[in-house]
Amino acid sequence: MNSSIEYAEKIGTDNRIARDMRGKFELDAVLAMDLEGNIVKLNSSFEAIIGFKEDKLCGNSLWGIVEPNSLEKVVSNFNQAREGKYQNFDCQFIHKSGSHIDLNIINLPIVLDGEIVGVYGVVKDITEIKQKRQQVREREVLYHLLTDHSLDMITKSNKDGKLQYVSPYCFDLLGYTPKELIGKSTYDLVHMDDVEKLLSSHEMVIRNHSNGRVSFRMEHKTGYYIWVESLCKSIVKEDCGEIRLISVIRDISERKKTEELLLNSEKLSAAGQLAAGIAHEVRNPLTAIKGFLQLMDGNKKYEDSYFSIINSEINRIELILSELLLLSKPQDLKFKECNLFETLKQIKTLIDTHATMSNIEIDLNYLTAIQTIVCDENQLKQVFINFLKNAIEAMPKGGEISLNVRSEGEDTLKVQIIDQGNGIPKEHLERLGQPFFTTKETGTGLGFMISMKIIENHHGKIEIASNENGTTIEVTLPTYQ
């Protein structure tokens, strides 16, 4: 104890190292020990770290506040410093509260008149840094676990699409190892027709710092294409401001197949339901033809005029049957110029019979000179047939359906289907578009979902207004894709 006080006095008065250190390490915690490891002096920063006041520690052995697992390390470093060697190490001490604290300690010998008389400890509390490091390490492990085992392909690229990281799932999805893809451009793997779509989605993500969701086709190493959906986010590297795109890419080929199946089953169901009306419609001209053939039998005089009637009736049968076949046949998506007025007239021909059976008149008002629209005609037909069928089915007592077409500006057409049905209750409105939502005994509940998908593919939109006096469906479509 006496010797400790002696050291303290010496250190306080004439040790040049101590004076030197006080200036340098003002913020650091410092303590001084004698050669046996007894604490001789400490500053308020060390008090703050350890929780004890100076008078509680001075005169006591340093080992008493060292966490047992660190004791060997602390003693051996202390001994090295006592031999005159500078030491820097991390260890754990015990705080007054009993908790463990992580410290970084620099041990320096205290030299007086050329003789080592004790050891300094310059102490830094690194508990928080350690915790943060641990958190970062844990996050890294988690991140690797997630990306390496994810059933999605995760990629990181620069803003031009050059791949910097690809998760191992790319082998299952595309047949490439990550190594084969790093350095390549994302866009080289994308179907030619979808590159534009992906590029503009990425541009939007970068511009608005938003998330982008887009579906497109990627090419498998063996040459076939897979439908995927990517969720993309941009991050800005803090140090250099460079932009990175992180994408989570999911195989949606199964979903696409299901969508296609649903589309076809709705088509078949619509065709089946329309068939009754069509059979009726076909029977009428057939009856007429039969009658005229009987009249013509042996009656040369009327042959010419009867022939032209028979001809036009047969044409009508042909038209109706070909529309029906078209409706039930699965078709690939094909965008080309078509005449919307003609298309709507054909739809009217097909559906009029169905309407008449319910005492309904369909009134087609084409109120604009713009008729050409780039679209997949068969798909648009399916949309309008579905909306007209819905309108007819909502009007069991008959009435009128208006089918109006207007232009909105030079490159937008708006098709309105206005019925006088019993309307769609508010609680049903939000369920429209969910697959299989139907209030009809023989309904598929797919019409709305498919129509929405088709209009979305055409970059258009659907608006619905409904009350107890009827429903108005508005389909807005750009004339060019």
- Residue among 22, 21, 91 nearest 63 (CA): 91
In terms of DSSP H, where are the helices of 175-233? 178-181, 195-208
Site string for ligand ADP, 420-459 (x = CB under 6 A): -x-xx---x---x----xxxx--xxxxxx-----------
Of 19 and 440, CB closest to ligand ADP: 440
**Which residue of this chain has its Cβ atom nearest to ligand ADP in the complex?**
447
Q: Least CB distance from residue 313 to ligand ADP, whole Å? A: 32
Task: Specify the amino acid at residue 222.
Answer: T
Residue from 447, 460, 473, 479 touching Mg ion (CB under 5 A): that is 447
What is the C-alpha to C-alpha distance for residues 105 and 116, in angstroms, rounded to an integer? 19
- Which residue has 């470093």 as its token pair? 77
Site string for ligand ADP, 381-420 (x = CB under 6 A): -----x---xx--x------------------------x-
3-state secondary structure of 166: strand
Q: Least CB distance from residue 355 to ligand ADP, whole Å? A: 13
419 binding partner (options ligand ADP, Mg ion, none; Cβ < 5 to 8 Å by kind):
ligand ADP
* Residue-wise DSSP of 386-439: HHHHHHHHT-TT-EEEEEEEEE-SSSEEEEEEE--S----HHHHTTTTSTT---
Range in contact with Mg ion (rule: CB under 5 A) among 66-74, 172-180, 276-284, 390-398: 390-398
Of 233 and 461, CB closest to ligand ADP: 461
SS3 content of the chain, % helix, strand, coil (to 5): 45, 30, 25
- Residue among 407, 368, 401, 366 nearest 385 (CA): 401
390 binds Mg ion (CB under 5 A): yes
Task: Specify the amino acid at residue 133.
Answer: R
CB contact burial 277-294 (16+ within 10 A = b; e otherwise): bbeebbeebeeebeebee
379 binding partner (options ligand ADP, Mg ion, none; Cβ < 5 to 8 Å by kind):
none
139 binding partner (options Mg ion, ligand ADP, none; Cβ < 5 to 8 Å by kind):
none
439 binding partner (options ligand ADP, Mg ion, none; Cβ < 5 to 8 Å by kind):
ligand ADP
Q: Least CB distance from residue 342 to ligand ADP, whole Å? A: 24
Total of residues contacting ligand ADP (CB under 6 A): 21
The partner residues of 225 in beta bridges, in order of sequence, read 219
Of 93 and 387, CB closest to ligand ADP: 387
The structure tokens listed for 228 are 């995927």
Of 343 and 390, CB closest to Mg ion: 390
Of 307 and 436, CB closest to ligand ADP: 436
- The binding site for ligand ADP (CB under 6 A) comprises 386, 390-391, 394, 419, 421, 423-424, 428, 432, 437-440, 443-448, 471
- The binding site for Mg ion (CB under 5 A) comprises 390, 447
